[in-house]
Amino acid sequence: MTAIIEARGLKKAYHATHALEDVSFTVGAGRIVGLIGPNGAGKTTALKAILGLTRFEGELRVLGLDPRSQRDALMRDVSFIADVAALPRWLRVSQALEFVAGVHTRFNRARALEFLRRTDIRMRSRVRELSKGMVTQLHLALILAIDARLLVLDEPTLGLDLLYRRQFYDTLLNEYFNKERTILVTTHQVEEIENLLTDVLFINRGRVVLESSVEALAGRYVQLTVNPDNVARARALQPFYEREVFGRIVMIFDGCSTAELASLGELRKPSIADLFVAKMEAV
């Protein structure tokens, strides 16, 4: 697996707050990685470090380059949407296309136009005249038309309604993603991108608490809805998370044999959202 991002011991402090404390992870080529964490966990700081937008300590290579000293070269192969409202309000749609075409040699204007044709966005409109959903569509059209190796998305669907959110991820998956491309996305709406991800990276209080492929998660974690009589026996197997749902106890186990657990209740694969909550509350 070729590493697209290789981070070792990333540290970053804003005044007294430690945004990143010894963060290490690897992102492989052709993966869709969800960087997931509660507010203030350090997600945005990690992304900013990757994009060369902030200074930090530690070792970080993105596409083999150091974002601190080689940002300009890096940006030829990296695209990002760091804020849903980042497009300047005075910009016209036609100007946005012209600008990106003028500065990016790997921008395919025809592709962006093709994408925009499917929307209600008009070329003469200014960004300020578009709805929030349309602004995101425009931004996505610009980004999707860039032939980049790494796409970084920070809460790309924040504040959008369900239809736009669904459409956003569908477009991303169907029209952009392929084996040569890697996507790193942060969101707090985990359930929405659950089926999209190939890997997850949970981060909390500036530390990575879980780094795994989605495939490996299924083999490692198991969720047990315990039969009331078996609660004590189940607890003896040391679940790392436990909660009560409609009067029944639900536990999540890490690396426990399913044969043993099966006799204690109903087993199922925990969703990423369940695992996320479990991991965050277990810390």
**Chain residues that interact with another protein, rule: CB under 8 A:** 14, 48, 51, 53-55, 71-72, 75-76, 79-83, 85-92, 95, 98-105, 139, 143
- Joined together, the tokens standing for residue 69 give 């000293």
Question: Looking at beta carbons only, is 97 or 208 nearer to another protein?
Answer: 97
* CA–CA dist 139, 137 (Å, integer): 5
CB-CB neighbours of 33 under 10 Å: 25
Rounded alpha-carbon distances, angstroms, from residue 94 to 99, 107, 113, 116: 9, 14, 10, 11
User: What is the closest distance, in whole angstroms, from the C-beta atom of residue 22 to another protein in the complex?
Assistant: 20
User: What is the closest distance, in whole angstroms, from the C-beta atom of residue 100 to another protein in the complex?
Assistant: 7
Indicate the residue type of 214: V
Question: Looking at beta carbons only, is 15 or 179 nearer to another protein?
Answer: 15
User: What is the closest distance, in whole angstroms, from the C-beta atom of residue 26 to another protein in the complex?
Assistant: 23
User: What is the closest distance, in whole angstroms, from the C-beta atom of residue 283 to another protein in the complex?
Assistant: 24
In 187-236, where does DSSP find H-type helix?
A: 190-193, 214-220, 231-236
Indicate the residue type of 224: L
Question: Looking at beta carbons only, is 127 or 250 nearer to another protein?
Answer: 127
CA angle 186, 188, 194 (to 5 degrees): 75
User: What is the closest distance, in whole angstroms, from the C-beta atom of residue 99 to another protein in the complex?
Assistant: 6
Question: Looking at beta carbons only, is 101 or 277 nearer to another protein?
Answer: 101
Question: Looking at beta carbons only, is 75 or 196 nearer to another protein?
Answer: 75
- Categorise residue 264: left if φ over 0, alpha if ψ from -120 to 50, beta otherwise: alpha
Question: Looking at beta carbons only, is 129 or 254 nearer to another protein?
Answer: 129
User: What is the closest distance, in whole angstroms, from the C-beta atom of residue 49 to another protein in the complex?
Assistant: 10
- Joined together, the tokens standing for residue 122 give 């008009």
User: What is the closest distance, in whole angstroms, from the C-beta atom of residue 112 to another protein in the complex?
Assistant: 13
- Joined together, the tokens standing for residue 49 give 């470090």
Asked if 29 and 2 touch (Cβ cutoff 8 Å), the reply is yes
Beta strands 207-213 and 78-81 are unpaired
- Joined together, the tokens standing for residue 247 give 């009067």
Question: Looking at beta carbons only, is 102 or 255 nearer to another protein?
Answer: 102
